[in-house]
């Protein structure tokens, strides 16, 4: 009986020590906002890590809010298999924290940013721009944040003089 109890206790401890997550979900959250940042801090650090893992990707030309920075982790590239063979991510309130995590974690991508677009520009075909007034969440490359914060006239000005040869982020 003692041997069986010991095996059960060891198995229970091993189960607790092995963290697992659902595919395409958050495995690590860092809401800290200390220190300066090259890019905007998440609009509400207390919500970092609460947004859906599966969102749109890219596009829109403008953003309204930075929600979080994400570092996607890929088991096939050496990340821990917390979601079996599926990808998962770590969420951060501050870009620099995400970048540091990315650099020191096996199987990690460079950080992306999750933004909210209350209005955005759709480009269904090259050079055909449509003003979309529906809200959406989308992941962007972090560099796309530069000069893309939507102001009151951003989309109207963009549509009045659309860039030639520029493709949507």
Q: What average pLDDT does the segment 64-80 reach?
A: 97
Position 18 confidence tier, pLDDT thresholds 50, 70, 90: low
Query: What's the whole-number average pLDDT of the chain?
Result: 89
In angstroms, the Cα distances linking 166 to 58, 127, 161 are: 14, 8, 12
**Res. 7: pLDDT tops 90:** no
Phi-psi region of 101 (alpha: psi -120 to 50; beta: other; left: phi over 0): alpha
CB 78 within 8 A of CB 51: no
Model pLDDT for residues 78-120, shown as the tens digit of each residue: 999 999 999 999 999 999 999 999 999 999 999 999 999 999 9
Q: Which two tokens mark 103?
A: 């650099």
Return d(Cα 6, Cα 9) in angstroms, integer: 5
**Res. 17: pLDDT tops 90:** no
DSSP assignment string, 15-71: HHHS----TTSEEEEE----S--SSPPPS-GGGTT-S-S--EES-BS-BSEEEEEEE
Model pLDDT for residues 132-144, shown as the tens digit of each residue: 999 999 999 999 9
Does 98 or 8 have the greater pLDDT score?
98
The reported pLDDT for the residue numbered 164 is 76
User: The tokens 């969102």 sit on which residue?
Assistant: 55
In angstroms, the Cα distances linking 161 to 108, 128, 155, 164 are: 39, 12, 10, 9
Position 3 confidence tier, pLDDT thresholds 50, 70, 90: very low
The reported pLDDT for the residue numbered 47 is 98
């Amino acid at each position: 009986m003692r041997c069986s109890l010991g095996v059960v206790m060891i198995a229970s401890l091993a189960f607790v020590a092995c963290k697992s997550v659902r595919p395409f979900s958050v495995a690590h959250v860092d809401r800290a906002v200390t220190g300066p940042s090259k890019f905007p801090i998440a609009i509400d650090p207390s919500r970092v890590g609460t947004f859906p893992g599966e969102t749109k990707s890219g596009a829109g030309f403008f953003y309204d809010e930075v929600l979080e920075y994400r570092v996607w982790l890929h088991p096939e590239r050496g990340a821990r298999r917390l979601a079996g063979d599926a990808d998962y991510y770590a969420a951060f309130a501050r870009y620099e924290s995400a970048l540091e995590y990315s650099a020191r974690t096996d199987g990690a991508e460079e950080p992306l940013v999750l933004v909210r677009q209350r209005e955005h520009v759709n480009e269904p075909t090259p050079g055909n721009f449509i003003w979309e007034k529906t809200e959406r969440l989308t992941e962007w490359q972090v560099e796309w944040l530069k000069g893309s914060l939507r102001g009151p006239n951003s989309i109207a000005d963009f549509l009045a003089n659309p860039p030639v040869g520029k493709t949507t982020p």
